[in-house]
Amino acid sequence: MKKIDPIIWSITDGHDSSINQFNYLTGESKHAELDKLIDEKHAFFTRYSKDAQRTMDSILNNLVDVCGWNIPSHLVYKRTHGVDNTTLEPSDAARGVITYLSRIGKTGSFDNVNSKILPHHMCHALSAYHCSPYNNCVVLTWDGIGDGRYYSESVFRDGELVDYTSPRWFVGLGSIMRWVGHVCKYHISPHVDKLETSASLDYAGKVMGLSSYFEPGLPRDEHFREQVNQYKKIMDALPDYQAWLKGEFLQKQTLDANPVRAWDKPWTQDLDHDRKIVWSSEDEIMHCAAVQQAGSESLSERLKSGKLAAKIKSADNNIIIAGGTALNVVTNAYVREKNEFNVFVPPDPADGGLSFGLSVWKAKQLGWKGYDHNNRPSRRISGIPFNTKGLGLDIPNSRTVTSKEIADLLKEGKIIGLIQGNIENGPRALGNRSILCNPEFPDMRDKINSNIKNREWYRPFAPVCRLEDAPKWFSAKTFDNLEHMSFVVDVKEQYKDAFPSITHVDGTARLQTVTAHSNPLLYSILNHHENVLLNTSFNVQGKPILNDWPTAKKILDETDLDHIVFLNRHELQLFS
């Protein structure tokens, strides 16, 4: 019988399912997102209900035997749904875990948590707060939908949640942007597989990228402002959003006001089967810009409203933005620039981070006192190491290199995939599974989009630089909390032409900063490079960030990637 430690395993089941291990005596935590375990973007446990036991056995054997996870004394499970979920019946995935643990002789407690016990958005708030730098703060969660709600406000003081509210009438920007993305047939590829795991969950991000290409000018300005106000009205009132989905918004029959009318049956397993042209190519861009502007204005205005403004002031002017909409770096930056708040966004604000919040909830019940806010885990890195199966360090075209040699290759215009340590939490590569290149080469963005990642032409790439260098190249109210690529900043005018591959069409960039502490290897490469680097996730369109050698080698062999650098313990190995 394996030893049972003071360990919680928490599992959240919905799109972007995850499992978290938490020691409720020490606060030590390990995290694993399902999509990175099985190489299926936005994966969810319930998808495998027909073969749940074999699937769970494979996942848990990997976590315990390969990743070094411990056997838990407590198991907590929560199914996250769009609708309000009040069932206490365990799913096939939960039963699979129970059977696995019983088979190895584990006995302990099991909690099946529904939305009445722990709402979806409270789970987001707990996850975000307990990896933040703040002692007192207000956590705003905003996403597509979870347990029937789109938004919440949570007040934390001295490590405790003291107030929680989730108004039903306020609608998530992410949900509306996703539907606008469905309508943009000219620009946004459907990539539809199955509804819950389709790439339509990425549509909001594509709408955000495309929005910057709108060029205002009379007479379009007046129409643009009208559309912004209509989208704000939809966000601020659930009945208007529901009318919009039904094609009845403003009692108009025009597709401009009710674009979802373009489908005969919007909620189907094949959302592309009757996807019609609704707007012109130019108007698609205008609508993307309008909904993006509406979301930024709506949240910023809400933060200034009486009750919420008072809450924030009492919480030392600290706010955290979480939920799927927290991945909207444009809105995050707008909120920070337009208000006098300190703003933090965790590395995994969307549903992939929910199981950590579930662990915190259970640990508090078991007497855990919480972290010192000055020494909380960053949660940037997961509990999943790189799968080196098939990687032989004696293969042809490989050699040992230094960080300076890597920097020199980047200066020459080489494109390098960097692999080190455990994979990141969240959807963004922060230097452990990254593709790096020199943004001074004007064709780098198009080359990576077209010949490596197969992404749309309008999608921007992020720069990474040392924290102390950021003010040299970029302008922002503050450079705090940029380690997770969570905000856009302005590229200084004199460097826009110098860094064409990381400067978006609107002159902004989604900056990541690093320190010698947060990422020693990447910091060392930047030291030798003496400049900004382009950093994007090591994957291809429609796939999660990679975490195994065969996938990395395939990208090296079949695309324009020049090299892979793998940190093998303390030695850097370069493959060509």
pLDDT at 193: 41
C-alpha 77/C-alpha 421 separation (Å) is 28
Give me the mean pLDDT over the 163-189 stretch: 87
CB 46 within 8 A of CB 93: yes
Higher pLDDT, 242 or 8: 8
Beta strand extents in 200-248 (DSSP E only): none
Q: Is the pLDDT of residue 197 over 50?
A: no
Name which of 176, 191, 108 is nearest 143 in CA terms.
Answer: 176
Residue 211's CB is within 10 A of a number of other CB atoms, namely 23
**How far, rounded to the nearest angstrom, does the alpha carbon of residue 222 sit from its chain's CA centroid?**
34
Token pair recorded at residue 34: 């399902």
pLDDT at 83: 60
pLDDT at 137: 98
- Look at 173-187, 261-275, 332-346, 434-448 and tell me which has the smallest mean pLDDT: 261-275
**How far, rounded to the nearest angstrom, does the alpha carbon of residue 263 sit from its chain's CA centroid?**
29
pLDDT at 115: 80
Instruction: Give the model's confidence band at 191: pLDDT under 50 very low, under 70 low, under 90 confident, else very high.
Output: very low
pLDDT at 477: 94
C-alpha 78/C-alpha 361 separation (Å) is 12
pLDDT at 79: 83
pLDDT at 32: 96
pLDDT at 461: 93
Instruction: Give the model's confidence band at 273: pLDDT under 50 very low, under 70 low, under 90 confident, else very high.
Output: low
Q: Is the pLDDT of residue 167 over 80?
A: yes
Could you give the angle at the alpha carbon of 68 between the alpha carbons of 62 and 73, nearest 5°?
Answer: 95
**How far, rounded to the nearest angstrom, does the alpha carbon of residue 495 sit from its chain's CA centroid?**
28
pLDDT at 300: 94
Give me the mean pLDDT over the 401-429 stretch: 97
Q: Is the pLDDT of residue 131 over 80?
A: yes
Q: Is the pLDDT of residue 1 over 50?
A: no
pLDDT at 92: 74
pLDDT at 388: 92
The DSSP element (H or E) to which 252 belongs, if any, is: none
Percent share of the chain, pLDDT over 70: 91
pLDDT at 402: 97
pLDDT at 353: 96
Q: Is the pLDDT of residue 269 over 50?
A: no
Token pair recorded at residue 308: 């919420």
Q: Is the pLDDT of residue 424 over 70?
A: yes
C-alpha 445/C-alpha 457 separation (Å) is 8
Give me the mean pLDDT over the 345-358 stretch: 96
Q: Please state, rounded to an integer, the average pLDDT across all residues of the chain.
A: 89
Instruction: Give the model's confidence band at 44: pLDDT under 50 very low, under 70 low, under 90 confident, else very high.
Output: confident
Instruction: Give the model's confidence band at 540: pLDDT under 50 very low, under 70 low, under 90 confident, else very high.
Output: confident
pLDDT at 81: 65
Instruction: Tell me the DSSP string of 271-340.
Output: TTTT----S-HHHHHHHHHHHHHHHHHHHHHHHTSHHHHHHHHHTTTEEEEESGGGG-HHHHHHHHHHSS
Measure Cα distances from 496 to 229, 461, 472, 490, 526 in Å. Answer: 32, 14, 13, 9, 19
Q: What is the DSSP letter of 62?
A: I
Give me the mean pLDDT over the 150-157 stretch: 96
Percent share of the chain, pLDDT over 90: 64
User: Which tens digits make up the pLDDT trace of 381-398?
Assistant: 999 999 999 887 667 788
Torsion over CA of 270, 276, 280 and 284, rounded to 10 degrees? -30
Q: Is the pLDDT of residue 374 over 60?
A: yes
C-alpha 184/C-alpha 189 separation (Å) is 8
Give me the mean pLDDT over the 563-568 stretch: 96
Instruction: Tell me the DSSP string of 107-139.
Output: --EEEEE-TTTS-HHHHHHHHHHTTSS-SSEEE
Instruction: Give the model's confidence band at 117: pLDDT under 50 very low, under 70 low, under 90 confident, else very high.
Output: confident
Torsion over CA of 389, 392, 396 and 402, rounded to 10 degrees? 110
Name which of 361, 351, 265 is nearest 16 in CA terms.
Answer: 351
Instruction: Give the model's confidence band at 82: pLDDT under 50 very low, under 70 low, under 90 confident, else very high.
Output: low
User: Which tens digits make up the pLDDT trace of 431-451?
Assistant: 999 999 999 998 899 899 889
